[in-house]
Structure 1
């Protein structure tokens, strides 16, 4: 499968751009575990052209992350063009336009999925960005604004006509936010539209190897993008790749192996930021990780982890988990001596 000049293996799986999640440390981990392409956090075009330091740092990446896309959002065509040119100087593999974020502070101002209410401006932005940069441009969007305005099928053709090289579709409307089940039927309809010739990437509620395989088979999409299913679980890409190739689940590693991956992520976050900010940044991953789900009477330990303020305190709590919950862990995990280096 190709996106522009980028070549990917059959049935590639990408890491979705997520605010406060897909920073450089997490992207590198996901690439390490097999993500075929990663994206930056979504970046405000307004903040980027105003040279806000925090925003400018978001477009930085390492060579080990390639292929990588920088994603920008905004509602003003001139500002989006200027921001795209700034991103081009950072030399990503792709510039991606966010027409899909549903959060109020973005969509409520007409950006992100707020663009579903102004498709003419969406198309103007897309066409102008494509013409303004020499990098391939892709788009990520949703089905529509609400159930009464699911415009993605004709909109996909129009976006393609603007010159984009790929289209990612999240299977919800903006009004749904992240509630309810993602609807992949319209994603399938876009993919099966004979006029469409660019790759279609499906997104929404892909949280396991089985679901990934099912979505590929039922919709024929060219790639799948994983978002929330990867938070606190960067190893999901390795599990998916194994299942797609062999048709069976990858042998489960030891609990300590998964725990060490999380600790590695925490340590990297602390090294990159500082102790307090690094731990704060990791709380979302520690709260969402599936590693601790199902452990009986785990609530007090979870609260203690999320309240820890020092690396020593946090690692001490995490190191006690295999001992404190030994009976559950031994009954639920295949024993393995393999540890993260």
Structure 2
């Protein structure tokens, strides 16, 4: 099979480890593909598929608690363009599979020749589909983690240029409260508290005018209306990265060997703190709320890696926390314990000293008693 410029991203789902490994070996021999995930748990697989950019799923028909047919139904409800290939030792499911418009149906044991035939069929179908325009509505991806970026399908990300800083702040406040009515008096108090009422309202109307002009290229996604003494920023087909991330976190499966990939992908969406590059005071509450969720999940992931003999991954996460949140004592302690596991005494001392230095310089405090006692006991045991 010829290597295409874009690799086909594949997920394999089979509750039997041997069968899963067999399919991975077969697919690994082919060019132009990337095995994004392999799962024995169908529910973890579903979560991962819905989160990631997957082109093709190989599903075993007979899975625990849910059939591959039903799993495909649930996946296609959310991502109708994912291609499905069923793999099973029983041909009695073939009619159901093709009623679901499955791309192919492979009987075990799958041969390399049969798999190549399936992949060639996929490439042919993809070439045909590429020439057919999609009638589904476009989606505006709006990034507000770290900075504000607008992205439409098949277009380069765009950073809007604002006429005034107040027009930008008005937009961001209305975006934070999108599809909700915001009283003009609240906006006046927020943006122009130092001005007389008449002057403040004049500045508000000017900022709203600039706001409308700036977001005009996205009028089918964003629209501001002036009604009943307030403004509403209406959104349609807008995907905010903060809302997507929080939704994924709320529905995240229990952390284990299979679901950890879900968490890795999910945390990649958190590119920085909410509106990190802006110093508006009203942002701080939402920024801290999301940051606490990120910190708690990051620590949980690092502890999972450490507890599952993957110290390098744990160290990477702990160091990332220390970089973003220099006063996060739990992360320094995690690094100390991880390096203690590896018997790297110098690095245990290094991270305790760094923590002590940061806390003293920033807060004039020492590490908490629990960390200090652990460090003293560790020193005594390794004297």
Q: Report if TM-score (shorter chain) is over 0.5.
A: no
Q: Which has the higher contact order (CA 8 A, sep 6+)?
A: 1
Q: Give me the TM-score of the superposition, normalised by structure 1.
A: 0.33
Greater fraction of residues in helix: 2
TM-score, normalised by the number of residues in structure 2: 0.30
